Structure 1
Amino acid sequence: MRSPFHLVEMSPWPILCSVSAVCVVVGFLDWISGGSLVLLVCSVGLLILVLFQWWRDVVRESDQGWHTSFVASNIRLGMVLFILSEVMFFFSFFWAFFSSSLVPGIEGGAVWPPVGVVPLNPFSIPLLNTSVLLGSGVSVTWAHHALMAGDRSEVLYGLFFTVVLGLYFTVLQVFEYYECSFTIADGVYGSLFYVMTGFHGMHVVIGTIMLLVCLWRCFNYGFSSERHLGVEVSLWYWHFVDVVWIFLFLCVYWWGG
C-alpha cells in the first residue's frame, strides 16, 4: 500500500538558497554604504535561479501526486511556523527600535530622531507605498476568492495586478533610498531604518516571485478550486508582508520620524 507521506529526495537547493540570500543581504548593505551594485545584482540573479529550480521540483512533485492531504497539511503547518519565525525576526528589530527611540542615548543628542538626521516625510513615498501594498492585499484576496469559485480568468487578473503592485512597491522603495539624506552609517537611526525596511523589501521581492510562480502555474491550468496549495501559502505570506509594512509605516516613518 502506498504511503500518504512523501520523503523528499536529496536536493542542493536549500543550502544554495541560504547562501544566495546571505549574499543578497551583504550586497544590499554594500550598495547602500556607497559600494557597487555588482554583488547585489549577481546575488539576486543567483537567488532567482535557485528558487526557480526549487519551485520546479516542488511543482513536479505536486503534478506527480505526491502532495496528498497529509503532505498538504504538513506544508501548511510548515508555512505557519515559518511565518511565526519571521514575526519573531521582525519583532527583534522593533524591540531595538523602541528601545533606542523611547530612551535615546546622549551620543545622538538625547533626542529622537538623533541630531543631524532628517527623516523622510511619511506622507510622501511611504504613504504611497502603503496604499500600493494595501491594494495588492485586496487584489490577491480577489484572486483567492475567484480561485475558490473556479473563475480562472479572474484569478489571472488578480494575480497579475498583485505582481505589478509588488514590483511597483519595490521600485518606489529604491527611489525612497535615493531620496534619503542619511545612510546606514548614520547612527542607530540609520542602521535600524535601512535594516528594517531593507529586510521587508527583500520579503516583498520573494513574495512577488512566489505570486509570479502562482500566476504562471494558473496560466498553465496548474490549480483548481479543490487543489491550490501554492496560492494558499503564497497568500498567507503576502498578507504577512502587508501587516509588517503597516507596522513599519506607523512606527518607523510616522511615529519614529
Structure 2
Amino acid sequence: MTSPSGGYDEAAVEAFRIAHGLDQPFYIQYLNWIKGAAVGDFGYSYMSEQPVFETVLNAFKNTLKLSVLALAIALVIAIPLGIVSALKHNTIVDDACRFGALLGVSIPNFWQAYLMIIFFSVIIHWLPASGFGHGTDISYMILPAVVLGTGSAAVMMRMIRSSMLDVMGKEYIQTARGKGLSEKIVVIRHALKNALVPVITVVGLSTGFLLNGSVVVETIFGWSGIGNLVVDSILSHDYMMVQGSVLFVAVIFLLVNFFVDLVYVWANPEIRYDKTS
C-alpha cells in the first residue's frame, strides 16, 4: 500500500478499507462478523487474503496431531505411576512418584523445552531442534509432545493417586478382597473405574488445553499449530485472524467439556442428566 514516493497510497488504503468493510460503523462491522461467523465465515486475513476459517482449521489439524501424541504420553506416564503411588502409599516408591510429579508441575514449559533442545538436538543430535517438517514426520513432534505431555502427566498423576487412595479405603474394596479376588482385579475393575470421575475432569481440561494449542511450546519449536498462528496474527495485527482463532478455540473447549460430561455417565452410571436426577 505504499506509493512510489515511499509513503502510503491513500487510494490503496481506502480500497482495502472498503474491501474489508472497515469503512462502516463499528457496530455494523461487529454484526456482519457475527452473522458470518454463525455460518462458518470468519472473513479474510488482512495479511494473506486467505479465508480465516480455512487457515485456522489447517492450523488446528497440526495442533491435533501434536495433542494426540502429547495426551498419549501423559496417560502412559500418569495412569501407571498414579496407581503404583497409591498402592505403595508412604513408601520410597510413593515418594519418588510424588517428587517426579512435583518437578513436572513446577518446571515451566519454556525452560523444559530449551533444556530438551540443548540435550537432544545440540549435544547428542538425535532430534531436530524445531520445525514442522511435512507435518507427518514424527521426529519433529517428539520434543514438543514430550514437553506438553509431561506437564499434563504430572497433574493427572497426582489426581489419580489422590482418587485411588480415597477409593482403596472404601468398604466395597475390602469386600472384594474378602471374596478372594486377586489384587489386579480389585484394582482395575473396582478401584480404578470408581476413581476415574474426578480424574476425567483433569484429563478433559488437559485435552482442551492441548487442543487449543500451547502458545509457548508451539512458538519455541516452530510448530505450525493454532497457538503459533495466534501469536503471528497478533504480531502482524491481523485482527480478523485473531478473532477467528479465539472463537474457534472457545468452541473447541466447549465441545471438549461437553464430551467430558458424557464420559461421566459411562464412568459412573449413577450420574444421570435428566429431570429426576
Q: Does TM, normalized by the shorter one, top 0.5?
A: no
**Bigger radius of gyration:** 2
TM-score between both structures, scaled by the size of structure 1: 0.28
